[in-house]
Chain A
Amino acid sequence: MAAQDPKIEERLALVKATGLSMNAADDKRVGDSVRASLMALDAVASGSMFDTEPLHFERALKAHARKGDA
């Protein structure tokens, strides 16, 4: 159960702190979703991000355009 995982409990507390009502189905759904998403984030963004460049998604897209499109 999502509600028995202390890390997920912390996340559910964040949602509840907004004042929004949460039922058991919400707890399970939010817990499952958060767990899966954070696992994905840990897989690609673990460790220091100190040396990463500033945000540049648009630049990355343009850099990969077929030559002649720019």
Chain B
Amino acid sequence: MTEIADWTLIETADAIAARKVSATEVTRAALARIETRQPTLNCFVRVDVDGALQQAAAADARQARGEPLGPLHGVPLAHKDMFYRPGVPVTCGSAIRRNFVPDFTATVLERLDAAGAITVGALNMSEFANGPTGHNVHFGPTHNPWNPEHITGGSSSGSGTAVGGRMVYGSLGSDTGGSIRLPGGICGVYGMKGTQGRVSRHGAMGLSFSLDNIGPLARTVRDCARLMRIVSGADANDPTAADMAVGDYEADLKGDVKGLRIGVPTNHYWEGMSAEVGDVLEAAFDALSKLGLGVTRCEAPHHDVVRGLGNIVSSVEFCTLHDDWLRHQHDSYAPLVRARMKQGYAFSAVEYLKAIQVRPRITSDFVNQMFSKFDALLMPVLRFPVPKIVDTDVGDSQGMNEVLGSVNHCTWPINYLGLPGLAVPAGFTGNGLPVGFQLVGRPFDESLLFRIAAAYERATGWPERTPELPG
């Protein structure tokens, strides 16, 4: 019989609602799993055993009283350590904020609370969400659940591992250049970065005003769709949150995909593609074709410039947020983070604003060219097998930019374009590590991405494979 901790989020919520298991039993199962696997995976920076059990007991009491249950009633989650809650320390993966305690609650946490979720702790991450591999000099690297010698991807490293390692049923991460989709694809789970503005950022640590996105990681498409629907939508506390209607992503999963057109950009995304990852992706194309989707190679416009433009925007905005600490607490940053930040000072205000000003035109042209011909685009998450932690521990060495740039090569352009991207598990390479692809859609078309991923999941069953770990 499958252990409780190995159930999906939906199975767990359904079992609690049907009184087959209590929120307390589920939470105890998650905590036991965390206790066993944390020493190997290092994905938690804090586990709140007492608080989680108190939340679970309260959830059971509400159910016993016959109160209405939310769609996440009694389901244990944990999130990247960057979402604010009064009285709870939030480190942002840093030394500088090691003792920071906020006094208000992030909108996304309020929405998960209202849906009945239990928070069991906080997850490791790259320092200030800066870094695509999952290294962290202050809290140690997070380890991949499929092989702990390998990276998780970052910056939502703990989220990828805690979900992929079957310790919690879902997690929130953030994505400024791939930080949800990389750990999603690299840890064998789903990760949704919505359209820019789709999810409120109130009470979430910022990295880059223009490029930051909050979103869920989960084991199945339906799990991810449920979480995304709950956290999406307008927010009076965040004027940048889009006032666009949020679809019923779960209901839409059953929709037909036959006849949908998938574009596969071969420029940029296919450059330097390893044969092994390429073979896995070719198999994914075949699976999609058998489902009746048309898969066509194409050329993605503007990819000679989007990395550079995104670099100007992100580095200047990061410097803006960190300027004071960088000048006065310079040594509190990891060398890698410090080194990455410095370039932001090299751009002028005029250059930064030009990079912002041309963004609507570039995105509009990209959407017009691509989505007049295709319903969605498919790109790799990573072009090579998941590397080892030791091989990507570059610090602030001369080759830092090349190594980090190779890791976020495929995810980075989508943030500047502001489009939704969903990381989808697609198989494994010979070293036993996952391969993922990302589906990218027109603005606010998250529902279609979930629908295509659901059809692919039904056809391939990749999420049914589980990593071999203690406990």
Contacts and interface: CB of A to CB of B under 8 A. Distances in A.
Query: Which of B315, B327, B443, B448 has the most A CB atoms < 10 Å from its CB?
Result: B443
A56 B360 CA distance: 7
B88 interface: no
B307 A61 contact: no
B397 A65 contact: no
A65 B443 contact: yes
Contacts of A18: 326-327, 345
A61 B443 contact: yes
A29 B339 contact: yes
B444 A15 contact: no
A45 B308 contact: no
Interface string A15-48: 1001111100110111011101111110111000
Interface string B290-316: 000000000000101111110110010
Contacts of A20: 326-327, 330, 342, 345
A61 B363 contact: yes
Contacts of B242: 58, 61-62
Interface in B350-406: 351, 354-360, 362-364, 367-368, 371, 396-398, 400-401
B251 interface: no
A3 to B, nearest CB: 13
A20 B354 CA distance: 26
A4 interface: no
B266 interface: no
Given A49-B354, A58-B240, A69-B245, A44 B343 contact: no
B351 A41 contact: yes
Interface string B43-68: 00000000000000000000000000
A30 B371 CA distance: 36
B244 interface: yes
Given A11-B346, A61-B197, A66-B444, A49 B357 contact: yes
A48 B215 CA distance: 38
A48 to B, nearest CB: 11
Nearest to B353: A55
Contact of B308 (A28, A36, A58): A36
Contacts of A22: 342
A1 interface: no
B418 interface: yes
Given A45-B354, A57-B363, A69 B247 contact: yes
B3 to A, nearest CB: 40
A68 to B, nearest CB: 9
A53 to B, nearest CB: 8
B195 interface: yes
Contacts of B371: 64
Given A58-B242, A65-B445, A32 B247 contact: no
A45 B358 contact: yes
B445 A40 contact: no
Interface in B228-264: 240, 242, 244-245, 247
A55 B355 CA distance: 11
B166 interface: no
Contacts of A63: 364
B347 interface: yes
Nearest to A11: B346
B396 A65 contact: no
B197 to A, nearest CB: 6
A34 B342 CA distance: 11
Contacts of B302: 44
Contacts of B330: 20-21
Given A45-B354, A57-B360, A14 B339 contact: no
Contact of A57 (B196, B247, B312, B326): B196
A34 B346 CA distance: 7
A65 B196 CA distance: 12
Query: Which of B247, B302, B444 has the most A CB atoms < 10 Å from its CB?
Result: B444
B442 interface: yes
A34 B347 contact: yes
A26 B342 contact: yes
Given A19-B327, A65-B244, A66-B444, 13 more contacts: A11-B346, A18-B345, A34-B343, A37-B311, A37-B347, A41-B355, A57-B363, A61-B418, A62-B242, A63-B364, A64-B363, A69-B444, A70-B244
Q: Which 10 A-B pairs have the closest CB atoms?
A: A40-B308, A60-B360, A40-B305, A11-B346, A37-B308, A61-B443, A65-B444, A45-B354, A15-B345, A64-B367
24 contacts: A11-B347, A14-B346, A15-B346, A20-B330, A25-B397, A26-B396, A29-B339, A29-B398, A30-B346, A33-B311, A37-B308, A40-B304, A40-B306, A40-B307, A40-B308, A41-B309, A41-B354, A57-B210, A57-B363, A60-B360, A60-B363, A61-B195, A64-B442, A69-B445
